[in-house]
Every structure is written in structure tokens, then in C-alpha cells.
Structure 1
Amino acid sequence: MNLHPDLQDKLQVLDQLLISMNRIMISFSGGVDSTFLLARAKHVLSDRVLAVTAASETFPQKEVDSAVQLAKSFSVRHIVTQIEELRNANFVNNDTDRCYHCKTGLFTHLLDIAKLEHISTICDGSNYDDLSDYRPGFKALHNLSIRSPLLEAKLTKEEIRLISKEMGLPTWNKPSFACLSSRIPYGTKITLEKITQIEEAEEFLKSMGILQIRVRHHDAIARIEVYPKDFPIILENYHEISDALRGLGFHYVTLDLQGYQTGSMNRRITATNTNS
């Protein structure tokens, strides 16, 4: 691969980390980060890697299907397991530690699978950029001794995309995705109805050719986040979009003029922590 020496060094650090773990399970969503991690693990560990995808109400079935196909293309053993997040009252209540409760439930479940598989190390796809956002899930990872090799190798999202492209991975330019519950403001209960509204609204907008999209659920209001370059698509089709989203149960449909921003629901928390 034709990589900058600094990036080549980080890749070598990652490979050595994986080799030192010997046999691992990867929490595999099929996104940019976990796909890259799985590909590198397969490269250095061969058959000593197991991918596990957790299907749930907040993770669209099309993402599960994509993860299945990706794992198959790498010839990696892959398990799809079901978790029921909406049965977890702490998750449903959606306080500012929602991600902590989500990750605790997920990785406790994966630890049970790992025990049956005689695997001692579980890895996730957190990257170095994740340190800059509000991530209560990191506490859960620490408590359960989950490893984050991409973060440990100090690989950023942009670097992961660049190496993925060099490796020929189909996910190198895949839009960022987070569980659908992240579209619901903290303090507002998570329900299957809201999750379904969000998923269907985002799929409708994607059908118009918008790749990076978030529909934030503010009860009666749908707040659309897209990159500014995609504003014309929204404005040119505003009648159709308004009718479709109102048909899903929203009373008002708005476009956020700040555009798409990762973790926009965390702004108030991040600002509070900064000012405290």
C-alpha cells in the first residue's frame, strides 16, 4: 500500500496489537471502522477471529444484512445475535448515560458468547476521534475490559477511510451511521414507534440520493440534518418531503441550517462539561 510513513507506522502498531491478542471476537456492525478492523484482524490472525453482529430494534435490518455479506466476503466466521434494548428500562428512559447502559447490555451479552467460544478478548471499532465526543459508553468498555485497537493505535476516522480505500474495502466511503436511538433527545423516552418513524424518514430521504442523513426526533418535529451541499435537494423537494414525513406522524418538518454534525445531540452536554 502507498501510505505516508506515519500512517504506515500506525498500521503496524495496529497489526502488532492484534497479533498480541492471539484470538479475538469483534463487535461487527459493518460500518467503516469495524469493517476495517475485521479486515486487518483477518489479515494477521487468519481464522482466529470471530465477528459478532448484534441485531436489535435500533439497528436497521439492511445494516445487519450488509454486515453478513461483508463478513462472508472476508471468509470470516460470523454470528448474528439478537439483543432487546427496548426491554432495558435504563436504555428506554434515555438519560445522558444511555450509551453506557446500551454498551453494558451489549458487551455483557457478547462476553457470554465469548465464554462459550473460549475467546478471552473482545474488540470494538472505536477510533481516536471518538475521544473528542461525549461517549459514556467508554466507561462500559473499560468496566468490561473491552479493547479498542483502532483507538489504541491512534487511528482517526479519516485515516481509517484512507487505508480502507488502499485496501479496496467497499466501506471506505460509507456514510457514518449510529444507532437510531441517537436521534432522540436525552430525557425523551425511546419507543419502537419513534425508532420506526426515524428509520422510515431517513430511508425516504436516502431514496432522493442523500447519503449522509439524520432525522432528529423532537416529538412532533422532525429536524433534518444533511450536509449543506444537499440543501438544494431538500428545498427542491420540500413539498414531497413534508408530506412523506407528516404521513409518518410528524406534525412539523424542519431543516437544520447548521447541517449534519456527528453527535449533534451531545452539544448541550459537551458545552455544559466545558463550562463546568
Structure 2
Amino acid sequence: MEDIVKISTIAQYNTMRGVTTKHPLITVIDLSKAQPMPAKTFNYGLYAVGLKETDYGQLRYGKRDYDYQEGSLIFIAPGQVIGVQPGVEVFATKGWALLFHPDLIKGTPLGKRIQDYSFFSYDVNEALHLSDKEKSIVIDCFSKIEYELDQNIDKHTKGLIASNIELLLNYCVRFYDRQFITRNIANKGILERFEYLLKNYFLSDKPQNEGLPSVAYCAEVLHLSPNYFGDLVKKETGISALEYIQSKVIDVAKERLFDRNKSASEIAYELGFKYPQHFTRLFKQKAGVTPNDYRTKN
């Protein structure tokens, strides 16, 4: 069984990359001046943002070509496991890497909302692909943080560094919004597959055997991370992936309620509800009436 190397500190990571530790809780690395990572599997105890600058060939986004080749950003959150294959860098040999310990942002505004940046839970193949102008903004943010690390640590250091990290992440939110828009055709294809998945799910015996389809299940079938999938659905439809699934459940339920040979409870079990009262509660929430009232009125 392969050993997993835990990266717990900034100093430990800097030692692997052959760079000097300027601050115990954060590092900014010009990857062209750093040693490559060893070919092992790592469990990160740090937040990481890596800019991979690309100047070669056509890259792939999942199973599709992507349209911005100037650079891409990947994000890693504490607890994630990343494998480095021989000759293949997670963070390329040309680009930048920002890593910071969770303790750095404790007590700061960023620390209170770090969980809002859902792209830290995206898969690597769901990277943020940057235009040349966007890349220059990201590098400028890295440079501002690096400037602070070159100053003597004082009472302002933590706040200024955290603010610059937050600025970088807020730009990334904007850039991801742009990416969802520019990939509208590809995203529509995912929504069509999502709709097809739900349709076939309720035509099968999976609801009785496995229960209601979850967001995580749908994301896995569609080969996406749950967070990326959820954000994509939200951007495209204006509702969450869970709400989308629930709406589909209610649509199917409405059709089946016209069959008077089945009780509302039987229909609830067919749809994957463990308890009929949960079905009744959701139906009333979405349709405004109980299943039996809907059947009577129609």
C-alpha cells in the first residue's frame, strides 16, 4: 500500500521545493526557481492555489478542449489528497504557488468566509482557465503577498496578507462566473445529461433500492465534483442542484398521482422516500397542497 505523505507545515513544503521560509504560515513560490515535487501522494494540511502557466499545445478540460491556454489555476483545501506522477507536476515547473496554513486566517474576515469559496473542493480537471488579462491580475495578487513576506513581520502583516489572499479569491469567483458563461454550450450539455439521468433514475427500480438521488450521486455519474456540479446548476438554472432534483421528484409524483390504483404512500415509497410524511411535507412545500389534495383537485 502506497504511503501518503502529510504536508503539515509551510516549512516542510518549502524544504521539499528547496526554497527559503520567510513566514511560518504562508509561502509564495516562483515555480521556475523551485525543485520539482517528488513522485508521491500527499495529504495537504494547507490551503494551496497554483498557477500553471502553459505555453504548449492544446490542453484538455475534463474530456473537452478548453479555450484559454495562457494559464490555469487549481485550488487545494486542507485534507485533500493529491498524487504526483513521475514527470507530471500538480503545480507546473512554470508558474506560481501560494500555500497558507489555516491558522493564518483565523480571526480575520477571510477566516469567517473561507468556506464560501467552493472551488477549493473542485476536482483538478475543473480548474479555472485564465485569459492573459486575468492571469496578469492573479500574478499581481501573488506579487503583493510576496512583497509583504519580504517586509519585517509586524502587527499589520497578518491583516494585509489575509486581505490580499481574499482579493485574489474574490477575483477567482469573478473569473469562475465568466468561465461558466463562456462554457455555456458545454454546461447545457451537462444539464441535458442531468435531466436524462433523473428521468431514467425514476423509470428504474433505483429509488426503491437506493432512495432519492443525491447531489453527490448525480455529480459522480456526470464525472464532476459535487461543489462544481452544484455551482454549475445554480449558475445555469438559478436554483440549487438539490432544488432541481426535488422539482423533478414533484413533477414525477404529480404524474403518478393520477393513477388512483396507488395510494400517496405507495407513490412515496416508489419515489425513494423512506417515510410517506416526508413526501407529503416536500410535496406541500413545492406544490402548495398535499398529494391527496392535488389528486382530488385534478
Q: TM-score range by the shorter chain?
A: under 0.3
Which one has the largest radius of gyration? 2
How does the TM-score come out when normalised to structure 1? 0.26
How does the TM-score come out when normalised to structure 2? 0.25
Larger RCO (alpha carbons 8 Å, 6+ apart):
1
